[in-house]
Chains A and B, each alone.
Chain A
Amino acid sequence: MHPTPSVQTPPSVPLLAAEQIVKRFGAFVALDHVDFEIRSGEIHALLGENGAGKSTLMNILSGLLRPTEGRILLDGTAVRFSSPSDAERAGIGMVHQHFLLVPTLTVRENLLLSAERSFGGPLSYPLQRTVEQARAVADRLGWNIPWDSLAGRLPVGTQQRIEILKALRGETRLLIFDEPTAVLTPTETPELFDTIRRLAEEGRGIVFISHKLNEVRDLAGRVTVLRRGKVVFRTTTDATDATGLARAMVGEDSEAALLLNASPPDSSGRRTTTGEAPRLSVDLSLGPELGQHRNRLTEIRFDVAAGEIFGIAGVDGNGQGELADCLSGLQRPDRGAVLLDGVSLPVAPAAFRRNGIAIIPADRQRRGLALPMSITENVALGAYDKAEYRRGPILLWPALTRRAAGLIARFDIRASGPDALTRSLSGGNQQKVVIARALADTPRAVIAVNPTRGLDVGAIAFVYDALRRARDEGAAIVLISTELEEILTLADRVAVLYEGRITGIVPPTTSRETFGLLMGGQGVAG
């Protein structure tokens, strides 16, 4: 019925080209002279680790951000987007990873929210025309959409189809999919791929953002790989294999390691002798919870010895948060348990802490600290129930303040004193408070989650040093991090987490390709 929206450009002129794009945030260079182009009818994959600059680039193409330098060409003509609606008018649509639907409104009403302004008069809701247009697209794609259901009640796959309908208008020529499979079930993914292929066949250009290697190879023609804001690899899927992509994504060098490594990476490897009982023994599974965005954890099994740093690598959102919650006593696994020196602990953060498991949580401003409170009070959170700091129900604040002052000196926290509010500290010093609380009393085990996220180089070196020292004092350390460099710098052994499963436990000397493959879900035996 509907004619295919094809303003076919000659193959020589790309549909959209970004030339020499630079984006700076303060001193931080998020994109460093990036070239990127999409032709009509092609599926172009954009691959890269967390923080490689994928989202920044796409936000520039869809008008959310403005580039510091460089230009964008549409059909060979320079354009300038000052808002997302400019980009929409130019025919660029984006399907966001996190759906932007109002769950309490019906599908119709949600479509109306993003309806074109040109539809309907100034006083009328263009409901009819908006839904008609969406229905035509849905029919063409063979979708059965329950138009009058509440958006929040629909399965995730259907919600995503509504997002696609929102992004697709009559003249949309370029569609950006931001990690669209992250939220889908295994059966929904092939259906989405069929849709994406159909949309490309109709002459649209598709950008497919992912870090799953098999998906990229399945779907895309051309691949561009970003690493630390630079294009490091441009290829076609015919010309390369998963290994090549993995190597490009993860990189050979380790600038960070060179920069931060006061002591060279441990070659001693695992510090246990055979027969020694592990300090921490984990064997658990966790099912997904209905109605909540919770990842599944399947058969997570590993042992950590006293004096060992066990790294857990993987791309963000593959179950790290759920695993960290299970390891810190916040979440009860559906099956299995966490054993400390062979003893199963009651599932409660207080019990874990009292038995010597220290936590460095991922979100220091929310979970790590009570920001409106002082350093003394925040470090007291790790000791307020110890007998030496209380007499009956009374807390001995003078003793707790002395303890805080000692920790400020020991962990080099830059603050006006123990009474300084943690809100007034820099990010690095806030993290030092969290670490001081965790490592104050020689813990038996430490669970550290992204302990250096957002910190500058000096603070990162400090954190690494503190973790190494805790290990040398005999703690078993689980380091969950999405920064592969960090894990390779610190860990004695590394497990890779992919979709809630451990795809392999390997030494840190393993090749980057293998890590890339494991992180992309390509199982490697061993």
Chain B
Amino acid sequence: MYNSANLGILEKDKPMDAKRIRVVIAKPGLDGHDTGAKVVAHALKDAGMEVIYTGLHRNIEDIVKTAVEEDADVIGMSIYSGAHLPLSKKLMEQLEQKNISGKVVLIGGNIPKKDIATLKEFGVDEIFSTGSKLDDIIGFIKDRCERIS
């Protein structure tokens, strides 16, 4: 189940626009709280980005693979179960091992403030925990992707 390519691609049929920012929204592990991930996906889509939502129960390998295949500019992982530290660490390690650079990594969900510094040490670009403003997420992504390109 966890390795299948059961991905829903939003707006897949539209011609690829080089200027559009491409975002993979991912739900790693067993946690099933996907409302936040879907709300953010909706908001980014409304803000003109291409959004690829992975669906539930993905492992980190799947997520990295999807991000590469989709040529994503941004990987946003949403975690509510409390396993954000090990999962984020694993994501960053895999990106490094596979020599994948230039992707903005965002973590969302139930993230206590005390873990934010640790997540940034792992190399996560920004943390948008519960209660974050959608406009802030959109603004951050646009700002960072401009700088990268």
A and B part of one assembly: no
Name B residues whose Cβ lies closer than 8 Å to a Cβ of A.
Answer: none
